[in-house]
């Protein structure tokens, strides 16, 4: 008899389907029991059926009526911020733990290499955004060495990898990511920008992180960033630095100087990243999806291990 924790996925689009395949291929702790969608003709539901995973096209309501749902302990929500609010209400009322891959941010933010064990007793955890998962570890790495007065990230993703859910949640993306830059990354102030790049052939996800700090030990900052990159690569092998960490003095006419304490020497730390996907479901250029689903998988595995340990006490 399997001792793996049973999970379900709501959302049969790009993110939900990639996540289902990752659970099937990669996880020794989780077992996929069901997938729910709202489009009976979706490729995600068709793939799930071929893989012998129980399905419903009636959303969360259909999911909760499946026989397989009785043993599900953790549910991934890969739909939209608006839909998640109702999903969370239904699922938490049924005693399930929710891993939220939308920007709804009803539960605390989790970025695995930064705070993986901080919210193991929460009934809902939020995976921020793809841009947040890629860049917040870097802000946190800089913050671990020196205070970050301001953190700004730019996430550039291929238009082809941005499905309807992503496009409908652009405002929530920027707000949620900026908030998490502060709450998880440790920046005093945060800002996030997303760019949907229409280039053909599609380009791999690129992320730029700018941190405004006071004069600091540049070698220590570089070492911290490089160590953090290694921690992310443990579950996202295609995550890498594009060039060495850059340090630049902030000019006297730069408005950012006002964010630095009086008397301090302002310095801008810039980190340039590339995220190549594992191509479990979509092409390798969709690193934005890969890092999101990989982070959700890692988080659910930690939640499952914690729940199992608590049950044996």
Q: 13: annotated binding-site residue?
A: yes
Contact between 136 and 110 under an 8 Å Cβ cutoff? The reply is: no
| Active-site annotation holder among 9, 130, 141, 155 | 130
Q: Is 197 found in the same domain as 230?
A: yes
Q: Which of 190, 161, 162, 195 is nearest to 177 (CA)?
A: 190
Q: 162: annotated binding-site residue?
A: yes
Q: Is 166 found in the same domain as 277?
A: yes
DSSP state letters, 158-223: EGGG--HHHHHTHHHHHHHHHHHHHHTT--SSEEEEEEEE--SSPPPEEEEEEEEEES--HHHHHH
Q: 14: annotated binding-site residue?
A: yes
pTM of model > 0.75? yes
Write out the residue range of the structural domain in which residue 230 sits: 130-283
Model pLDDT, residue 2: 66
Q: 168: annotated binding-site residue?
A: yes
Q: 169: annotated binding-site residue?
A: yes
Contact between 169 and 103 under an 8 Å Cβ cutoff? The reply is: yes
Q: Is 218 found in the same domain as 200?
A: yes
pLDDT tens per residue, range 20-74: 999 999 999 999 999 999 999 999 999 999 999 999 999 999 999 999 999 999 9
Q: Is 273 found in the same domain as 135?
A: yes
Q: Is 65 found in the same domain as 171?
A: no
Question: Please, which residues bridge with residue 211 across strands?
Answer: 151, 269
**Which of the 8 DSSP states describes residue 38?**
S
Q: 163: annotated binding-site residue?
A: yes
CA distance 58 to 44: 14
Q: Is 108 found in the same domain as 150?
A: no
Contact between 214 and 146 under an 8 Å Cβ cutoff? The reply is: yes
CA distance 23 to 304: 13
Model pLDDT, residue 174: 93
- CATH number of the domain at 68, please: 3.40.50.720
Model pLDDT, residue 293: 97
Q: Is 147 found in the same domain as 90?
A: no
Q: Is 86 found in the same domain as 171?
A: no
Task: Report residues of the chain scoring pLDDT below 50.
Answer: none
Q: Is 95 found in the same domain as 82?
A: yes
Q: Is 96 found in the same domain as 197?
A: no
Annotated catalytic, 216?
Answer: no
- CATH number of the domain at 218, please: 3.30.360.10
What domain count does the chain have? Answer: 2
Contact between 47 and 71 under an 8 Å Cβ cutoff? The reply is: no
Q: 167: annotated binding-site residue?
A: yes
What percent of the chain is helix, strand and coil (3-state, nearest 5)? 40, 25, 35
Q: Is 301 found in the same domain as 279?
A: no
Q: 166: annotated binding-site residue?
A: yes
Q: Is 276 found in the same domain as 144?
A: yes
């Amino acid at each position: 008899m399997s001792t793996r924790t049973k999970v379900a996925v709501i959302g049969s689009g790009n993110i939900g389907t990639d996540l289902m395949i990752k659970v099937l291929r990669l996880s020794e702790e989780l077992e996929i029991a069901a997938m729910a969608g709202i489009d009976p003709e979706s490729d995600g539901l068709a793939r799930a059926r071929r893989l012998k995973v129980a399905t419903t096209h009636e959303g969360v309501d259909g999911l909760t009526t499946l026989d397989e749902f009785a043993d599900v302990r953790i549910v991934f929500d890969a739909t939209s911020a608006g839909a998640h609010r109702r999903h969370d209400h239904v699922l938490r009322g049924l005693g399930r733990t929710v891993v939220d891959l939308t920007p709804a941010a009803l539960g605390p933010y989790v970025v695995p290499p930064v705070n993986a064990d901080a919210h193991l007793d929460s009934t809902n955890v939020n995976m921020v955004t793809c841009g947040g998962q890629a860049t917040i570890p870097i802000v946190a790495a800089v913050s671990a060495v020196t205070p970050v007065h301001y953190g700004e990230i730019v996430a550039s993703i291929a238009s082809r990898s941005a499905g309807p859910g992503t496009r409908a949640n652009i405002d929530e993306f920027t707000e949620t990511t900026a908030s998490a830059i502060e709450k998880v990354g440790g920046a005093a102030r945060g800002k996030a920008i997303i760019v949907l790049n229409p280039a053909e052939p599609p380009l791999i996800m690129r992320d730029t992180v700018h941190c405004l700090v006071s004069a600091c030990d540049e070698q220590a900052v570089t070492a911290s960033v490089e160590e953090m990159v290694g921690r992310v690569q443990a579950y996202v092998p295609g995550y890498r630095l594009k060039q060495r960490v850059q340090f630049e003095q902030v000019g006297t006419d730069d408005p950012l100087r006002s964010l630095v304490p009086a008397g301090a020497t302002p310095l801008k730390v810039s980190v340039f990243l590339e995220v190549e996907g594992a191509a479990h479901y979509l092409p390798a250029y969709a690193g934005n999806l890969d890092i999101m689903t990989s982070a959700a998988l890692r988080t659910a595995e930690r939640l499952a291990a914690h729940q199992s340990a608590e049950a044996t006490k």
